[in-house]
Amino acid sequence: MDNSIILIGGGVLLGLIIGFIIAKTIEKNNASKLVKEAKKSASLILKEAKSEGESIKKDKILQAKEKFIELKSEHEKVILSRDKKMAEAEKRTRDKESQVSSELAKNKKLNESLESKIKDYNHRLDVLDKKQDELDKLHKNQVQQLEVISSLSAEEAKEQLVESLKGEAKNDALAFIQNAMEEAKLTAEQDAKKVIINTIQRIGTEEAVDNCVSVFNIESDDVKGRIIGREGRNIRAIEAATGVEIIVDDTPEAIILSCFDSVRREIARLSLHKLVTDGRIHPARIEEVVQKTKKQIDQEIIEVGKRTVIDLGIHNLHPELIKVVGRMKYRSSYGQNLLQHSREVAKLCGVMAAELGLNPKLAKRAGLLHDIGKVPDAEADMETPHAILGMQWAEKYGEKDDVCNAIGAHHDEIEMKSLLAPIIQVCDAISGARPGARRQVLDSYIQRLKDLEDIAFGFTGVKKAYAIQAGRELRVIVESEKVDDQKAADLSFSISQKVQTDMTYPGQVKVTVIRETRAVNIAK
């Protein structure tokens, strides 16, 4: 049993050894197969890697070559641009060098020619100096010979020559000035006279009658006592309510109302009329009647303004300006009613503008409003010139620029900027300066005419002088033996200039010099 166990154990061991050897053999064979397969796959991978590496290498080489070529082209472009700039700079430098060299050559030639000319001029100056010395010697000799011949010194002869030349030059200058002025004024003066005459012929005129006092007529002197009241309380109440001075004197059946404001005088006159008609005259009643009369006058002012605007064909005028136009009825300037004057100026402006081809409606508007500054609302406005105040009101109430400028410039207080302005100025002067338009102080009027005649008598050769046409023309009669035709023209010009510089007058003064020669024989 023991041997069998040993045999079995030896067999098992031997089997195990044989199995181990067989397993090792098989494992070795499998390992060699795996190694062979791994070598094959490794060789395949290496081939593929080499082929891919070659392709990548070729691509990289191509890319590198392309990049190199691109960089090389850019570099070549930069080099070419630099070379081009350098070539251009070199060309400009060469051009400048050639230009500088040519300029230097020209300057050299000019310097040479200048030097030659300077030498020539110096030589000529020397020759001229010598000739001048010779001429001076000859002139002195001739002057001495002339002094001996004429028995006059050179200074005396020079003075006589200068005096004769002065007279000739003065006559020539006066004649030239006169001819130039006549030629310049010929056409314009004729057209202006035609327009003004046609305009004046179409306009009716009225004479100045307004003043600063009004006379209130009463039926009997008994009414005076009722108006005066107890201890004069009624008169004081009327004066306090109206601002009008009431003068009660010995004039039968009349009371005088004195005030510079025509509106106040009219309010006082109407109030007195109502009080006398009603019969109840006491302070309370006076205040009540005066207030009602003021409202009535205000309404009447508006109505007068509206009628005036409608009569003249003026539209879209501001209500405040219409009220100012109505107030002109109770304002006078040098005795001329302001509303009548403004209406007259408006009509003149309209006709004159139509004759000149301008807008007649706009001219009428400016003519009617040109003196609105003469009826100020407040005392502060009275310090402003009426032309400027009227322009400010016109601007305030939306009038056009041409109208505003014409209002402000009609007394030359601002610059004229439109053709309406001189028309307004001329028509204002025509309306104010026409005979009968305004009252003048007799003494000043006579003195002005006398001064005109005295100016004429101040010139030599004047025989008689007459101021005619209310001082608008001066006729001068000269002595024909002392004044010839040329001197008569010069005398007319000199007198007109003297009048213009020494006198103040409205409009213009025409100076007419008359020279008359008569040949008288008697047949027996």
> Tens of pLDDT along the chain (524 residues)?
567 777 787 777 777 888 778 887 887 777 778 878 888 888 888 888 888 888 888 888 888 888 888 888 888 888 888 888 888 888 888 888 888 888 888 888 888 888 888 888 888 888 888 888 888 888 777 767 766 665 556 676 677 667 767 767 777 777 777 777 676 666 666 666 666 666 655 555 544 444 566 777 777 767 777 777 777 788 788 888 887 887 777 767 777 887 767 778 888 888 888 888 877 888 888 888 888 888 888 888 889 889 988 888 888 888 888 888 888 887 777 667 788 888 888 988 988 888 888 888 898 998 888 888 888 766 556 677 888 888 988 898 888 888 899 888 888 888 888 888 888 888 888 877 665 556 554 557 677 888 888 999 989 889 888 888 777 788 899 988 888 888 888 899 899 888 888 887 666 788 999 988 877 788 87
Distances from the Cα of 334 to the Cα of 237, 255, 298, 305, angstroms: 31, 24, 24, 22
Q: Is 121 exposed, middle or buried (0-12, 13-18, 19+ CB in 10 A)?
A: exposed
Residue 90: CB atoms within 10 A of its CB come to 10
Tell me if 405 sits within 8 A of 417, measured CB to CB: yes
Q: In a 10 Å sphere around its CB, with 0-12 CB exposed, 13-18 middle and 19+ buried, how is residue 511 labelled?
A: buried
pTM above 0.75, yes or no: no
51-86 CB burial, b ≥16 within 10 A, e <16 = eeeeeeeeeeeeeeeeeeeeeeeeeeeeeeeeeeee
Cα 375 to chain centroid distance, Å, stands at 28
- Could you tell me the two tokens for 246? 């009431």
Helices 338-355 and 154-202, packing angle to 10 deg? 100
Q: How far apart are CA 453 and CA 449, in angstroms?
A: 6
- Joined tokens for residue 90: 């070199």
> What residues does 514 pair with on adjacent strands?
477
